[in-house]
Amino acid sequence: MVAVTPLWPNLVEIPKILGASVETVSLTYSPRGWTLDLDRLLAALTPATRMLMINSPNNPTGWTMTREQQRTVLEHCCRYGIWIVADEVYERLYFTAVTGASHRRFSTSLRATSG
């Protein structure tokens, strides 16, 4: 399992207790705000990975995945058969005009357009 952190600690610790290997890819803070190193995440998502856990919009950072990042991650995960568990509990809570799409709605529309 790969998890983008920070996220609710139990989402990382319970799989460990059950014997899963968990790799974390942390968001980083810069003067532009919180960011995801997409190359680092994609490198962590190997053919042996079974699940990606991602929280966007992220609590506590407020970081939101862009549509382009979602598309890239979704295509990569589809290529390797990796399940995406998207914690989107804060999907409707944002403070800017730019919002991220729901992974579920985005993946449905991507499948419909890619045939």
Q: In the CATH hierarchy, which top-level class contains the domain 2-114?
A: alpha beta
The domain locations on the chain are 2-114
Q: Report the pLDDT value the prediction gives residue 44, as an integer from 0 to 100.
A: 98
| Global confidence as pTM | 0.78
Q: Report the pLDDT value the prediction gives residue 60, as an integer from 0 to 100.
A: 87
Q: Report the pLDDT value the prediction gives residue 46, as an integer from 0 to 100.
A: 97
Query: What distance in Å separates the CA atoms of residue 32 and residue 22, rounded to the nearest whole number?
Result: 28
Q: How far is CA 115 from CA 83, 94, 111, in A?
A: 20, 32, 6
Do residues 60 and 96 lie in contact, with contact meaning Cβ atoms separated by under 8 Å?
Answer: no
Q: Report the pLDDT value the prediction gives residue 109, as an integer from 0 to 100.
A: 56
Residue-by-residue pLDDT tens, the chain, 115 positions: 999 999 989 999 999 999 999 999 999 998 989 999 999 999 999 999 999 999 988 888 888 888 899 999 999 999 999 999 987 766 656 555 555 555 555 555 555 555 4
